[in-house]
A and B are shown apart, each in its own frame.
Chain A
Amino acid sequence: MIYKSIVLFSLVSFALSGLGYFITTRKKEESAAEWLAVSRVSFAAGTVLISAVFAILIYLLTTHQFQYNYVYSYSSIDLPVKYLVSTFWAGQEGSFILWIFLLSIIGLLVMQSSKEYEPYVMVSFALANTFLISMISGIHVGDLTIGSSPFKTIYEAFPGQVPDGFIPPDGRGLNPLLQNYWMTIHPPVLFIGFASALVPFSFAFAALWREKYDDWIRPALPWTIWSALALGTGIMLGGYWAYETLGWGGYWAWDPVENGSLVPWLATVACIHTMLVQRKTGTLKRFTIFTALFAFIMVVYSTFLTRSGVLADFSVHSFSSLGLYNQLLLFILTFAGMGLIMMIYRWKRMPAPAYTKEIYSREFAMIAGALVLTLLAIATIIGTSLPVFSQLWGKPITLDATGFNTLALPMAVVLALLIGLGQLLWFSKTGYKVLVSNLILPVTLSVLSTGIIIFSGARDAGMAVLGFAAFFAFFANVQVLVRIIRGNARLAGGALAHIGIAFLLLGFISSGKYDESQGYVLPLGTKVSVFGYDLTYQGPAERDGRDAFKILAEKDGSVSELLPIMYFSTYSQAWMKIPDILVRPAYDLYIEPVTIEKQDTPANSNEIQFKKLESKQVGDLKITFSRFVPLSMNPDDIKIRLDFLVSKNGKEDSVSAVYAIGADRNPRSTPGESPSGVRLLVKSIDASNGLITILVEGADLMALNPKPESLIIEASVKPFIGLVWLGTFVTLTGFSLSIFRRVKTQHTDL
């Protein structure tokens, strides 16, 4: 009870803080200062309380307090500490706490640094926290329960099914898919991104509120880049986890949960660009505000899509519903409403100074890039929401991965071209002629490189065009990077981030479009040629304490060992399969276990059971039980003939055995014999289920020649998939450099 009260108190604190900040904006001088103080203290108190909630849940999890439903549902005694940490955000309630906690910390930091913006900005923070805490409050209002409390006990969760005060001896444990270190860090990183996305939103909202459209960008920009960095890192960790653990062979499937983090990232990156343009030129005020609002609205909307249960039937991995639908709907409507209504309300009065630069200026490329990113984000979120809205007027429809890819392809081409052009224009302020001379080298190199990839097999027109654009982005940015490093290396962030994007696009082409996949049977101890490797299945093994298969991969005299995992999870009541990957510079060889075919158990007995019309292999014989023929049904003298077909070396004989039960109730059996010397003796007949048991003599059991144990795998080759990881890493490094520079200078000229 006390735990739930702490949650309630933090809810009240944040609500009070929000109200206080709102009043602050309406008061003058002294009165405003008082309200400001109250609001600050309330926000700090809320933060302390939610930190306590955070600590309590950790305490309950680490001390295995299974009387709490959350602890019981996601953890168990045998879970190692590193995964005990993951249990915190394995469920909705815990991940909400994490999100609220991060929002509170970021809120405090923003409170410290936002000066005259403070009350306007903090209203958004206090409001978001109030909404989020309501999701975990578990308050009962009449029959209605608001939110789902992480501190619900087993006996509250299952009333009537367990006695009050019941403490289960052990928990259900953590979903084995989440028992992975990528999954330990992926959620917190993503939530840092989600939480930081509120900073640009709150500042943009404050800008509309105060009708001051320029000075909000300076404090908001580093946070926006930070948000893009965290979201990008989170997306990559999730993608790598999917690739390495889930075994569906890819890192991206356009699943609603994935799109839910991609769309805010696209919007955030668009926002960074519009912010930079606005700072440089003073134009684009409306668009900048729109992208800043849009990014966080998309964060909330994705939360709604993935947690309300509306997509439960369409996504492989959205959370199941906790009955938060209405609350989440209210959350998204509030934030979308307050952002958009405020924007519409101010629209006419927002200054829109004319854009005076030439078409071939760096800023124009950035505006166009931001526009493309925004459109792509909108299209992606429409595609993701399709099943939800189409349901309203009939059977749901979904957009498949091909649809998303088709949608993204031309956008990616335009973006890559802009990335190259825009960066080159940095140095082309003098105009058209310099631009052309700067274009010569990257264009030439791109044409050559595109020629090479077409020659090596990339014949698809769309891919060739994207390849050219990506190469152009790459060479143009390298050219720029070289010059930057000669000059002021601190400015290298942008060029690096863009080079990373070029790598990513090239990686998407090679690993997405030109991967090959094929199923193979690997008999134990036999070499099988798979994509240029000799694979030999060597029997069962162990990896990370789980059952695995040992496969040797030989090529050109070098031998590597692969250990794909397949084990039965009692948690999921299912076979879990984890691929193993042979990483080479030019490709990954990806081996996923499909199934294991055990050696047929040799018939160590010649006693065989049959149903009518059943055929069985007994050593070198194939025996079919064809029929019963009752010879006498006199209760004192039951006599039944049983007819069999015995096939040996392709020759088929019919054999009849007789089974009789006399007045003494003792069965007597007369064997039947085939010309080839096979004798069949009926041992028993079970009239209740029609099963008969016979003894077979004359079968060569050793000739059974069973199929050897075979491992069936799905193997695929993913060319240059390393470019995807390298690209993300380089892009994120670029983001990091930019934050560093912008925080350090806090003012900058481009």
Chain B
Amino acid sequence: MNKKLLAGGLFILAFTVYGIFAFRENVNPYTNFKGAETAWGAVQIKGVWDQSKENFYSAEQNTFIFWLTDESGETRRVTFHGAKPNNFEHATSVVVKGSFENGEFNSDRILVKCPSKYQSEQADGKKFQS
């Protein structure tokens, strides 16, 4: 019994170590562009789309390029590897996940924060609209 317990304990220990390793490799801290430049690995940046600057989607390369103003007010160009997300125009803010490569922020995931999700905004906004 003790040997089996030991084996089980060792297995749990091995998995815990592996789990910590997997977590460390793949966590994405929230930061801004400044923090992203020095960060190791992918980060997430919350910001607002700067619509005054150019944005375009290239179907051939399947990239969407736009400018994002992060929470500290810095505006940088973002290359998103994918189509322009649904509801991008109506997002109150967007979170881009990615990292800097040669001075250009490359993103592989965008989380679009819309005023309404499953629920209408009645709960947060308390605005009646018909």
Q: Which of B83, B123, B127 contacts A519 (CB 8 A)?
A: B83
B30: CB under 8 A from chain A? yes
Q: Which of B19, B62, B86, B124 contacts A518 (CB 8 A)?
A: B62
Q: Which of A44-52, A129-137, A156-164 contacts B (4 or more CB under 8 A)?
A: A156-164
Question: In the complex, A354 Cα to B28 Cα: how many Å?
Answer: 44
Contact with B along A300-324 (1 / 0, CB 8 A): 0000000000001110111111110
Chain B residues within an 8 Å CB radius of A398: 27-28, 30, 44
A594 touches B11 (CB 8 A): no
Assuming A521-B60, A572-B116, is B26 touching A403 (CB within 8 A)? yes
Contact with B along A67-81 (1 / 0, CB 8 A): 001000110000000
B121, closest chain A residue (CB): A320
A576 touches B123 (CB 8 A): no
Interface hits, B62-88 → A, CB 8 Å: 62, 82-84, 86-87
Question: In the complex, A573 Cα to B29 Cα: how many Å?
Answer: 31
Q: Which of A400, A410, A595 contacts B18 (CB 8 A)?
A: A410
Interface size class of A (residues with CB under 8 A): 35 or more
A371 touches B31 (CB 8 A): no
A440: CB under 8 A from chain B? no
Tell me the minimal C-beta distance from A590 to chain B in angstroms.
13
Contact with A along B88-130 (1 / 0, CB 8 A): 0110000101000000000001010110111111111011111
Assuming A313-B113, A403-B23, A594-B84, is B29 touching A397 (CB within 8 A)? yes
A383 touches B117 (CB 8 A): no
A409, closest chain B residue (CB): B22
B87 touches A383 (CB 8 A): no
Interface hits, B39-78 → A, CB 8 Å: 42, 44, 46, 57-62
Tell me the minimal C-beta distance from A394 to chain B in angstroms.
9
Assuming A161-B128, A575-B87, is B42 touching A400 (CB within 8 A)? yes
Question: In the complex, A571 Cα to B28 Cα: how many Å?
Answer: 33
B86 touches A519 (CB 8 A): no
Interface of A is mostly: mixed
Assuming A355-B1, A371-B11, A712-B57, is B23 touching A519 (CB within 8 A)? no
Contact with B along A162-184 (1 / 0, CB 8 A): 10000011101001001000000
Which residue numbers of A lie inside 8 Å of B, CB to CB?
A: 69, 73-74, 90-92, 148, 154, 157-158, 161-162, 168-170, 172, 175, 178, 247, 312-314, 316-323, 354-355, 359, 368, 371, 375, 379, 382-383, 386, 395-400, 402-404, 406-407, 410-411, 517-521, 572-577, 592, 594-595, 712-714
- A-B contacts besides A403-B23, A594-B59, 19 pairs, CB < 8 Å: A158-B126, A162-B128, A172-B130, A313-B95, A313-B113, A316-B111, A316-B117, A317-B117, A318-B118, A319-B117, A320-B117, A323-B123, A354-B1, A399-B26, A519-B62, A520-B59, A574-B90, A595-B57, A595-B83
Which residue numbers of B lie inside 8 Å of A, CB to CB?
A: 1, 4, 8, 11-12, 15, 18-19, 22-23, 25-31, 42, 44, 46, 57-62, 82-84, 86-87, 89-90, 95, 97, 109, 111, 113-114, 116-124, 126-130
- 9 examples of A-B residue contacts, CB within 8 angstroms: A73-B120, A90-B118, A158-B128, A247-B86, A313-B113, A320-B121, A398-B30, A572-B87, A577-B86
